[in-house]
Amino acid sequence: MKKVTVSLHPLGKEILTRKGSPLLDILQNVGVEFPCGGKGTCGKCRVRVLRGKIETGPEHQSMLDRLHLPPDWRLACMSNCDSDLLLEVEQYETIIQADESLFEFNPGQGLGIAVDLGTTTLVAQLLDLQSAKVLAVETSLNPQRKYGSDLISRLESALELGIDSMTGMIRDLIGEMIQRMMAGRTGSLEKVVIVGNTVMQHFFCGSDIRALSFYPFESKELGLKRFAPDQLHWKFPCNQILFYPSIGSFVGSDILAGILATGMHELEAYSVLIDLGTNGEIVVGNRRSLLCASTAAGPAFEGAKISRGMLAVSGAISSVVPVSGGWDCRVIGNGDPKGICGSGLIDAVAGFLRAGHLGDYGEILSGEPEIMLAGGVGITQKDIQEFMLAKAAIASGLEILLDRLHIMPEDLASVYIAGAFGTYINVENLVGTGMLGFTHDRIIKRGNTALMGAKMLLFSDPSIAEAALVKISHVNLESEPRFQDLFIGHMNFTPP
């Protein structure tokens, strides 16, 4: 019996199945919903064929026409797996944040691509360098997630398996994303700018990761890297491919790009940038100097250490509002809840605190092991502990950076929140958990600042970033004597 492989984007799942089997059977087993029962009327099971072919009969085609779907889309409930397929499943569409902000630029020639290479997600945008107009967007989950959600697990896997597989995996994926965006275009690809954290930089560039894996965790390969397409096995021409420099061993060019995007390195007033991505980076400063640090805060917000935690994908509870006798939960995709993502977790903890369900040290006062939210999804005592660890890491890191600059929280003009789910956070609830010692009127959600900064870098030469880099110093929180005491001091919900 002949078999075919069905690969599902952006989750990176691969399923081997009998040739000719209904796609509905495959997708049903991996959580895709078929709201009209597979009658072909709702269009909610749509998939985009990225590779391979799905033939359409007259009935299927007339449904596609009625729904005004572009030619590469199909209804999964009316499709069969007749060849190897790579499909984008719309219901899996993650809230991987692309940036749409406007910025000043000096017009150039041809096309450019900005890539934010994250530990969890990748986003790339194709721009017309004459107009700065975004022509195409590609998003994906990082295929290295199978080696762990945090950077330490990735480094351990790379040490065990060798870095080559990690490097090849990420170079191939970015190359495929670029090829998809460039397909059918006539303009020449002039420049690709990639930003990412230090570990991702080392993986992409094929640098020696041992320096990042062992004390004193200091790599000598943090600088700007240039590539030609053939070095990356990319089969398309491009004049410049640049991976921007990292700030320190655990603060990468994604944060450098974030600093450029907010302009905090040019302002007289002090401001803070907090990126609640996988690594939880903090930058504080002004046009004279900036200090930055990374904390181990991120995995809790990306679902990794939370019992029912998940990314902000279909089925995730993304917001929680207390109502009489329970909780009103918004579920991405409006289906049944399957878990909870970062913004939902913040809402839930803030709601529990307001409703008096938690003690000063996060203990569930009812004595129950879990507080149920909806559809069998709840927050356990251990989840609350994980949240407090993340909160304490951010709050202590921030306190140390402010102290080093001899400034107080009230000296800060703006607090920029960036990161994959920063835009979806309820700021009042974030403040309500005690993570940030600011009133919410100074907090500005800036979305994906790494991608925004990478786009700005398409229009400048590296000297702009290098001029900002000399103002930035990296603070290693681990070697800061006060960090442990501050951290323990923040492991509670007592108002300051």
Binding site for ligand FES (CB under 6 A): 34-36, 38, 40-45, 75, 77
CB 139 → ligand FES: shortest distance, Å? 23
The rounded radius of gyration (Å) of the Cα atoms in the chain is: 23
| DSSP assignment letter at 222 | -
CB 486 → ligand FES: shortest distance, Å? 53
For 420, the 3-state DSSP assignment is coil
User: 341 has which bridge partners?
Assistant: none
Q: Among residues 27 and 312, whose Cβ is nearest to ligand FES? A: 27
What token pair was written down for 97?
A: 């944040």
* 150-166 exposure pattern, b = at least 16 Cβ within 10 A, e = fewer: bbeebbebbeeeebeeb
* 224-253 exposure pattern, b = at least 16 Cβ within 10 A, e = fewer: ebebebeebebeeebebbbbbbbbbbbbbb
Q: Among residues 75 and 311, whose Cβ is nearest to ligand FES? A: 75
Q: Among residues 34 and 203, whose Cβ is nearest to ligand FES? A: 34
CB 45 → ligand FES: shortest distance, Å? 4
Q: Among residues 41 and 157, whose Cβ is nearest to ligand FES? A: 41
CA angle centred on 281, ends 362 and 436, rounded to 5°: 45
One-letter amino acid for residue 445 of the chain: K
CB 78 → ligand FES: shortest distance, Å? 7
**Residue pair 360/347 in contact by the 8 Å Cβ criterion:** no
Q: Among residues 75 and 392, whose Cβ is nearest to ligand FES? A: 75
Q: Among residues 9 and 74, whose Cβ is nearest to ligand FES? A: 74
CB 250 → ligand FES: shortest distance, Å? 45
| DSSP assignment letter at 439 | -
Q: Among residues 36 and 464, whose Cβ is nearest to ligand FES? A: 36
The DSSP string of 297-311 is THHHHTTTTSTTB--
Which helix (H) or strand (E) covers residue 398, if one does? helix 381-404
Kindly report the number of other CB atoms within 10 A of residue 7's CB atom.
16
CB 481 → ligand FES: shortest distance, Å? 60
Beta strands in 295-437 (DSSP E): 316-323, 326-331, 339-340, 370-374, 377-380, 412-418
Q: CA 393, CA 149: separation in Å to the nearest integer?
A: 18
CB 38 → ligand FES: shortest distance, Å? 5
CB 153 → ligand FES: shortest distance, Å? 37
Q: Among residues 87 and 255, whose Cβ is nearest to ligand FES? A: 87
